[in-house]
Amino acid sequence: MQNEILLVAESVSGEKGLAQEIIFEAIESALAIATKRRYTEPSNIKVNIDKKTGDYESFRYWEVVSLEDFEDPGLHLLLEEAKKKDKTADIGTRIQEKIKNVEFGRIAAQAAKQVIVQKVREAERAKIVDQYRPVLGQLINGTVKKVSREFLIIDLGDGEAILPRTEMIPGEVYRIGDRLRGVLEEEERENKGSQLALSRRCPEMVEELFKLEVPEISEQVIEIKSVARDAGSRTKIAVKTNDNRIDPVGACVGMRGSRVQAVSSELGNERLDIVIWDDDPAELLINAMGQVEIDSIVFDEDKQVMEVAVTKDTLAQAIGRSGQNVRLCSQLTGWKINVVDKDLTNDEGGAQGISALVEFLDVDQDLATALFNEGYTTLDLVSSSNNEDLAEIEGLDKEIAELLITRSKEALLTLAMEISSETDDETEDLISVEGVNMDLALELKQKGIKTRNDLAEQSVNELTELVDMDEKKAGELIMKAREHWFKEE
């Protein structure tokens, strides 16, 4: 048996190019598994092989634990029992005893073979990871070897890596034999060591492609300072030159856009925005926003937040589809960015509308402003929306969106009950004004116009700022509300 163990260790080590130490560990594990089969209860077994002679010894051991931690007599011993076996025993130590060895030959075709194969595979994988560790984070070429539902296996030449589908660019389809490029990463697997993995979604993918296409970057004349990416859709990249004679954006774009187009083609025609880096986050944001007309930027350095006021015409462009533009700008600068309409932040109607949302929805100013800027200017608009649409607003999820819808409906019901219970006094009853229906009364209530007198005291300009109506109708409503002022006593 001793000679057989040494022969297996030597032959497998020579065939696989692995250290004999790894093979001995595999055989020890196999012998321990076989030894455990002798016992009906759970047990801890340890086998030690002499690497020179091939002799081995088997031990069974127990953990010494307190009464509170005692779970299984096959695995644990109380201190009192442990002292009988070893007077030096203490809580947390091990008590072991030598037991009879199992024969190696009887398990060679069973547990030993399985464990050795597994250990050899893990050791081979670890060897490959060590071999590729110097190029982790770099772009590497490979060929699709196998395609499964969850990942692709990529042949790197003298090793393999996996490409999880979650790390592929949306819409990509690969078949066996296709060549591709990706950023090499090391991925830890639970109880199975590490393995090589590729990613095509990470920001580093864009950076590595630009290094290939733009010699100035590889020569460090131009630096890539920050990359923000929405894989498959859009990427913003901030660059800085170390030579004032070179335009960093022009160098990255290339003659007639050849360089940036080559990178975009590799990424499935992903849109690439190249901007000038600036150490001032406000200047960097202005560069990243592109054609958006920014009116003002307010900093909150403690919270790392910038509130950006833009013109109404460029508000949608600043936010981007599903908030993509502002999200990428936030990633690029490292600051949270809130985009607001400068007109709504300055006019009375916008301020009152936001205050109403704060009061009735019980939310903070930032969230109320975000709702208002997305077009949810009244409780009625919030209550009639669906949680999927609301959840698209930055900072919201479906659960919060559903809560806001519920709160808006409750607030509208409360306001309607207040209107219905008002007195018959014409000076107090808002809905008694000709032309004011329940819906309009609810909207006026939200804007602070709670009584007939409140409405009568408005000017045409003030009313049209608060409520969406033309000047003619606003004037008629105001005059109707003032009628009781001119009645004779």
Pairwise CA distance, residues 441 & 444, whole Å: 5
Instruction: Name the DSSP class of 44.
Output: E
Residue bearing the bigger pLDDT, 425 or 52? 52
Pairwise CA distance, residues 127 & 125, whole Å: 5
Helix (H) or strand (E) holding 127: helix 113-132
Q: What is the CA radius of gyration of the chain?
A: 36
Pairwise CA distance, residues 250 & 451, whole Å: 63
Instruction: Name the DSSP class of 234.
Output: E
Euclidean distance between the first and the last CA atom of the chain, given in angstroms as a whole number: 121
Give the number of other Cβ atoms within 10 Å of residue 183's Cβ. Answer: 23
- Considering the entire predicted model, what is its pTM? 0.56
What are the tens digits of pLDDT across the range 362-410?
A: 888 878 888 877 777 777 778 877 777 777 777 778 888 888 888 888 8
Lowest mean pLDDT among 259-263, 291-295, 312-316: 312-316
pLDDT at residue 293 tops 90:
no
Strands 151-155, 139-147: pairing kind: antiparallel
Q: Give pLDDT, residue 55.
A: 86
**Domain layout of the chain by residue ranges:** 2-127, 136-199, 203-277, 422-485
Find the mean pLDDT for residues 434-455: 78
> Is 3.30.70.600 the CATH classification of the domain at 203-277?
no
Pairwise CA distance, residues 114 & 107, whole Å: 10
Looking at CATH, the fold of the domain delimited by 422-485 is given as DNA polymerase; domain 1 (1.10.150)
Find the mean pLDDT for residues 426-447: 71
Looking at CATH, the fold of the domain delimited by 136-199 is given as OB fold (Dihydrolipoamide Acetyltransferase, E2P) (2.40.50)
Is the distance from CB of 124 to CB of 16 less than 8 angstroms?
Answer: yes
What are the tens digits of pLDDT across the range 297-306?
A: 888 787 788 8
What are the tens digits of pLDDT across the range 229-255?
A: 999 899 999 999 998 889 999 999 999
The three-state secondary structure class of 49 is strand
Residue 317 pLDDT class (50, 70, 90 cuts): confident
Give the number of other Cβ atoms within 10 Å of residue 126's Cβ. Answer: 15
Composition of the chain by helix, strand, coil, percent to 5? 50, 20, 30
Beta-bridge mates of residue 98: 59
Q: Give pLDDT, residue 425.
A: 45
Q: Which two tokens stand for residue 412?
A: 């509208």
Residue bearing the bigger pLDDT, 423 or 245? 245
Is the distance from CB of 242 to CB of 294 less than 8 angstroms?
Answer: no
Q: 401-404: which pairs have CB atoms within 8 A and are 24 or more residues apart?
A: 404/361, 404/363, 404/371
Please name the residues in contact with 396: beta carbons below 8 A apart, sequence gap of 6 or more.
Answer: 367, 390, 404
Ranges assigned E (strand) in 314-373: 336-341
Instruction: Name the DSSP class of 144.
Output: E
The three-state secondary structure class of 396 is coil
Looking at CATH, the fold of the domain delimited by 2-127 is given as N Utilization Substance Protein A; Chain:P; domain 4 (3.30.1480)
Could you tell me the maximum CA-CA distance found in the chain, to the nearest angstrom? 123
Percent of the chain topping pLDDT 70: 89
